[in-house]
Amino acid sequence: MIYLDNAATTLQKPAQVISAVTEAMGSMGNASRGAHEGALEASRAVYRARAKLADFFGCPRADHVVFTCNATEALNIAINGLVPPGGCAVTTDWEHNSVLRPLYRLEAKRGVKLRFLPQDGFPAHADVVVCTHASNVTGDVRDLEEMGKIAHDAGALFIVDAAQTAGSIPIDMEKMGIDVLCFTGHKGLMGPQGTGGVCVRSGVEIAPWKVGGSGTDSFNPFQPSPMPTRLEAGTLNGHGIAGLSAAVDFIQQTGIEAIHAKEDGLARRFYERIKGIEGVKIYGDFSPPLRAPIVSLNIGDYDSASLSDELSQRYGICTRPGAHCAPRMHRALGAEGQGVVRFSFSYFNTEEEADAAAHAVAELAAE
C-alpha cells in the first residue's frame, strides 16, 4: 500500500507515539481526578503535553492550551464561544465544514452576519475573522500575518484553523497575531486520532461551549472559569494526549523545517512529474515557496471517486476523492459535480512512492 491520504490522517506514526500510548494505557488514571499516583501520572502527562504544545505554537501560557478530540471540536469551541448573537463573522471560501457549519448555524439561529472574503468586502467592524492556514483541497497557504492584521484593524479576534499545517509548517501565535489557534493532533502532528486542541492568547475569554464534569469545584453550578478547565468538560483523552506529547517530541527532535522540506519536496516531485500530462488538471497555485503537501487533480471529466478507486484497486495507492468537506472551495474550483482526487504526503512517504503515484496517473490518463 502507498498511503497518500495524509491530509485526512497520517497513517504512519513515529514509533515513540505508539509506545507512549501503549505505556499510558497501562499506567494512567484520570487526569485532574484525584491525587493518587495513577491520577497524578495522568495529570503530569497532560501538563507536560500542554507545556510542549504551548512552546511549539508560541502560546504564552501552558494553561491556555485546551485539549479537544479534534479540530472540529476546537473550532466549535472557538466560534460558538466568541461570536455574540447578532455579531459579525468574516471568513473565506477556502474553509472546511468544521468552520462553515458552526458559522452557518450561528447565522440561522443567532442572527450572526457572515461575510466571505474577498467577494463581500471587509466590514467596518467584525467580532471574529476565522480562516484556515492552508486549504485542505489545494494545499495553498494563507498569509496569516496579513490576515491577522486585517482582523485586528477591524477590532476582530483572529481564529486560525491549523488542521492542515500544525506539525508541517511552523506556526507562531505571537508573531502571526493569532488570538485562537485550533489544531488537530492526528494529521501533521502525527499523534493519535481523538486528539486536538485550542491555544488561546492571554486576555481572550471564550465562553464555554460544553459544560460538565471538571474534577474540581464540584458545588459550583456553572463551569469553573479558570483555564483550561473553563473549556474542558469531561474526561480528557489522556492516552491519546500522551501519544501527542511524544509526537511533538519527535517533531522537535527532527525539526519542523526538515519535516516540511521533505513533505514539500515529495509533493512538488509528484507535481513536476504529472503537470505536463495531457488530460490532467491540477488545482492550486504551485508558485509560492510555502505550500501544504497536497496535490489535487482530475483526469478529463472522469469521476473523482472512480479515479481514486482505480488508484486503490490497481496500484494500491490511497487517495481521497470527492468534496473533502469544503463545498465553497469546490464551487470556486468548478469541481462541485466531479470532485477532485487529493494526493497528500507525509514525512514517512518516499520518493519512490511519489514516482509510483505519478506513473499511475500517467497510465490512467493515457487510457
Partner 1 sequence: MREKLPALIITFAATTQALAAEDFCQREGLPGRLIPVPREITAGCGLAWKAPPQEETRLPARLTEAGIQWSQARVIPV
CB of 66 to partner 1, least distance (A): 10
Question: Of 121-129, 154-162, 224-232, 354-362, which segment contacts partner 1 by CB under 8 A?
Answer: 224-232
**Identity of the residue, 65 or 178, whose beta carbon is nearer to partner 1 in the bound complex:** 65
CB of 333 to partner 1, least distance (A): 43
The residue behind cell 488545482 is 283
**Identity of the residue, 50 or 142, whose beta carbon is nearer to partner 1 in the bound complex:** 50
Instruction: Scan residues 49-78 and list those touching partner 1 (CB under 8 A).
Output: 50, 62-63
Phi, psi angles (nearest 5°) of residue 128 = -140, 150
Residue pair 11/3 in contact (Cβ under 8 Å)? The answer is yes
Nearest one of 203, 159, 148, 166 to 181, comparing CA atoms: 159
DSSP category for residue 212: -
Report how far Cα 64 is from the mean position of its chain's Cα atoms: 18
**Identity of the residue, 228 or 243, whose beta carbon is nearer to partner 1 in the bound complex:** 228
Q: Which three cell numbers stand for residue 155?
A: 477590532
Per CB under 8 A, 32 contacts partner 1? yes
Q: What share of the chain is helix, strand, coil (3-state, %, to 5)?
A: 40, 15, 45
Residue pair 152/184 in contact (Cβ under 8 Å)? The answer is no
CB of 90 to partner 1, least distance (A): 32
H-type alpha helices, the chain: 15-25, 37-57, 71-82, 97-110, 144-153, 173-176, 238-254, 256-274, 304-315, 327-333, 351-366
Per CB under 8 A, 229 contacts partner 1? yes
Question: Of 29-37, 177-185, 261-269, 289-297, which segment contacts partner 1 by CB under 8 A?
Answer: 29-37
**Identity of the residue, 43 or 349, whose beta carbon is nearer to partner 1 in the bound complex:** 43
Phi, psi angles (nearest 5°) of residue 90 = -115, 135
DSSP category for residue 47: H
**Identity of the residue, 80 or 223, whose beta carbon is nearer to partner 1 in the bound complex:** 223
One-letter identity of residue 66: V
Question: Of 14-22, 28-36, 298-306, 339-347, which segment contacts partner 1 by CB under 8 A?
Answer: 28-36
Per CB under 8 A, 47 contacts partner 1? yes
12, 19, 44, 111: residue in contact with partner 1 (rule CB under 8 A): 44
**Identity of the residue, 210 or 275, whose beta carbon is nearer to partner 1 in the bound complex:** 210
Per CB under 8 A, 185 contacts partner 1? no
Angle among Cα 58, 64, 65 to the nearest 5 degrees reads: 75
Per CB under 8 A, 213 contacts partner 1? no
Residue pair 28/36 in contact (Cβ under 8 Å)? The answer is no
Question: Of 210-218, 257-265, 269-277, 306-314, which segment contacts partner 1 by CB under 8 A?
Answer: 210-218
**Identity of the residue, 14 or 197, whose beta carbon is nearer to partner 1 in the bound complex:** 197
CB of 46 to partner 1, least distance (A): 8
55, 146, 217, 351: residue in contact with partner 1 (rule CB under 8 A): 217
CB of 216 to partner 1, least distance (A): 5
DSSP 96-157: -HHHHHHHHHHHHHH--EEEEETTT---S--SEEEEESB-TTT-BB--HHHHHHHHHHTT-E
β pairing state of 65-68 and 88-92: unpaired
Question: Of 26-34, 69-77, 108-116, 143-151, which segment contacts partner 1 by CB under 8 A?
Answer: 26-34
Per CB under 8 A, 174 contacts partner 1? no
Q: Which residues bind partner 1 (CB under 8 A)?
A: 31-35, 40, 43-44, 47, 50, 62-63, 215-217, 224, 226-229
